[in-house]
Structure formats: structure tokens, C-alpha cells
Amino acid sequence: MNLRVGFELVFGCSQPTPMLLMLHTHASHANEVLVPDRLLVDPPLPLTHYYDAFGNCCSRLVTPSHGFLTLSNHALLDVAGRPEVAPLDSYQSPVEHLPDECLQFLLGSRYCETDLLSNTAWQMFGNSPLGRPRVQAICDYVHRHVVFDYQQARPTRTAFETWREGVGVCRDYAHLAVALCRAMNIPARYCSGYISDVGLPPPYAPMDFCAWFEAWLGGRWQTFDPRNNAPRTGRVLMARGRDAADVALSNAFGPTPLVKFSVICEPDAGTESLAGRAVASTQQASQATSTS
């Protein structure tokens, strides 16, 4: 299936402000790319790129002194046209056998307070089967426990606060599940990107960037999505990290309010008959600046 992904972000500018951006599809999709993404900047500005410690492609620029800055990006990928299938290997490795690269994803982080949730995690999941069944039990719990509500979203909400308040958006679902997995000695890392609505019945919610997580099982990273808690068709990774602090779409070192944004993730017209959609939403603008 040929899948189009992209966005348009518009920021208000009142002074030259350095910005750090994480707005590209992840290099792990390189073999699926038909038309590569290219970050477009209006007005044209000098733009540099680098890869961070997690392998994410990052961009740097300085905003204009006044007016608006528009960032846009579109790509075409050849992705599987069927729902995700869970890998067969799902055993849970003892901590002493984990690869070195996994150890950082067992530790607490800015939004995932394993110390505050450890006792709760072992009380709820200590008797569940090891491996994928245990991670799925965590996802099932988070999916039931948290009520999705954009109106109550806030960029500072942590996993412990999500557990205590029982409300949030996709990043909060992911943070809580990540923290509970880490508390159970299962490496887990936060992911952000696009998810299409291919195969789902309408009505559709406004398109947005999404968050999920990966757990180390069966000797590989495996995808879990506590917000949707069901296989999806057309999931495209943009960035990975310990939590949302590592994969923010934009970090501005000065006043640059996001005034408008739109996201698209749909089958390419002429190659698929399945309906997709792209809906701009200024109501969600505050969620896109420092979250994923």
C-alpha cells in the first residue's frame, strides 16, 4: 500500500529564536520510501541536520524576527496493506541477559517514574505470564484505566499523574505503559509518528501525530499501542526515545507559539480505494509543540 504522510506547522515569531525539530520519518523506513520527505521552510531559512543518540533525524534553525514560520513535509512510503501481526517470539529476557543498549530503557525518566509505580506494577502484574502476555496485560489495563480527552491534555503530565488521574492523550497512555513495563524489568521505549485510519469505520477523529511504545521481547523491539490497543494498518515511526522529552516535535528556545497545524496519513490517491483524511486542528496546537 502506498501511504502519504506529512504535515504543516505554522509558528508565530516575535524575535529570532533557535529551534530544534524532530519532523522526519525514521531511518528504519528507508527501504519503504518511494518519495523521501524533505522539510520545507517558509520563509526560506538556513537549516542543518544531525542524528541524535537514539538515531532520530533532527533539524536546527533560527526563526525570523517577526511574522510566521511555516514548516511542511510530505513523503510517500510503500507499507504493508494489512494490520500489524505480533511476532511469534515473545519471551522476556532476564535483566542480566539484556543487551547493553536496552539497560537505559529500564530506568526511570522525566515522564516515567518507575520508582513511584513499582509496587503498584508488581501488585497488578506480578502473577501474569512472562513476556508478551505480561506486556499485553499492561496495555489492556492502561487502555481501560485512562480516558482519552484532548480537553484535559497538558504537556507536563507524567506516568504517575496519568495513573492517579485516569485521563490523558496518547502520549500519556504510552508513558504509563512504559513506566509499568520498566517497573516489571521489561525494557520499553517511547515512540512517536503517524498512524492511518485504514480499515477503520467512520467517523474519524481529527488526524494528529501519535504515540505508542516498543518493548524488548524475543530478542527484538516489539510494538505496543495502549491507546488503540488493536493492530493498525499504516504505522510510520518518526522518533524513539526514553519518553516524550527525547522526541518532541519542536523545541523552541524562546517565544514561538504554534498557531496552526495539520497532519496527513492516508493511502495515496489512485493506488488505494480506502479512504483517508487530513484535518487541520488549531485546538490541538498546544499538544504538538512539546509532545508526540
Which grid cell is 246? 527525547
CATH number of the domain enclosing 164 = 3.10.620.30
Q: Indicate if 117 and 224 belong to the same structural domain.
A: yes
Q: Indicate if 109 and 218 belong to the same structural domain.
A: yes
pLDDT at 84: 95
Specify the higher pLDDT residue, 288 or 28.
28
CB 223 within 8 A of CB 84: yes
CATH number of the domain enclosing 42 = 2.60.40.2250
The per-residue pLDDT for range 121-174, each reduced to its tens digit, is: 999 999 999 999 999 999 999 999 999 999 999 999 999 999 999 999 999 999
The per-residue pLDDT for range 45-69, each reduced to its tens digit, is: 999 999 999 999 999 999 999 999 9
pLDDT at 287: 41
Q: Indicate if 62 and 154 belong to the same structural domain.
A: no
User: Can you give 255-284 as a three-state secondary structure string?
Assistant: CCCEEEEEEEEEECECCECCCCCEEECCCC
Give me the number of domains the chain comprises. Answer: 2
- Sorting pLDDT into bands at 50, 70 and 90, what band is 277? very low
pLDDT at 270: 59
Q: Has residue 193 got a pLDDT over 90? A: yes
Q: Indicate if 51 and 156 belong to the same structural domain.
A: no
The per-residue pLDDT for range 202-231, each reduced to its tens digit, is: 888 889 999 999 999 999 999 999 999 999
Mean pLDDT of 15-25: 97
Q: Indicate if 114 and 233 belong to the same structural domain.
A: yes
Q: Which domain holds residue 73?
A: 2-81+247-289
- Sorting pLDDT into bands at 50, 70 and 90, what band is 290? very low
Confirm whether pTM is higher than 0.75: yes
Q: Has residue 271 got a pLDDT over 80? A: no
pLDDT at 71: 98
pLDDT at 155: 93
Q: Indicate if 145 and 168 belong to the same structural domain.
A: yes
At how many degrees (to 10) do helices 170-183 and 114-125 cross?
70
pLDDT at 203: 85
Which grid cell is 195? 498512524
Q: Indicate if 23 and 143 belong to the same structural domain.
A: no
Q: Indicate if 48 and 73 belong to the same structural domain.
A: yes
The per-residue pLDDT for range 107-125, each reduced to its tens digit, is: 999 999 999 999 999 999 9
pLDDT at 205: 81
- DSSP string covering 142-202, please? HHHHPEE-GGG--TT--HHHHHHH-EE-HHHHHHHHHHHHHHTT--EEEEEEEE--TTPPS
Q: What is the CA radius of gyration of the chain?
A: 19
